[in-house]
Amino acid sequence: MLMAFLMFLGGAFSFGVPKVALVMFIVNFLLSFVAKDQFPDAAFWGYVSLVLGGLLAKFGEPSKKTNDTNGEK
């Protein structure tokens, strides 16, 4: 349940605060190693979290919005 919650939070923060989301995905990956003995599918979800974190690190930069509304047309 904790791993699912961390993945949910990572997805929720991925657009607004990508660095926080990256930390959530990395913590989830590390947590999967602790839980893989009792839950065999935890390793799979840990690797999914690692891939999502890697994609977020590569492509998850916040967009730079320009505000050119100075009243001129």
**Cα–Cα distance list, 42 to 5, 16, 20 (Å):** 13, 27, 22
**Cα–Cα distance list, 30 to 34, 50, 68 (Å):** 7, 9, 44
- The whole-number pLDDT of residue 62 equals 59
pTM, two decimals, is 0.73
Question: Mind listing the pLDDT tens digit for each residue in 29-49?
Answer: 999 988 888 988 888 988 999
Q: Would you tell me how many other CB atoms lie within 10 Å of the CB of residue 18?
A: 17
pLDDT band at 73, cuts 50/70/90?
low
Return the closest-CA partner of residue 36 out of 51, 26, 46.
46
**Which two three-digit tokens encode residue 49?**
């979290």
Q: 63 and 28 in contact (C-beta within 8 Å)?
A: no
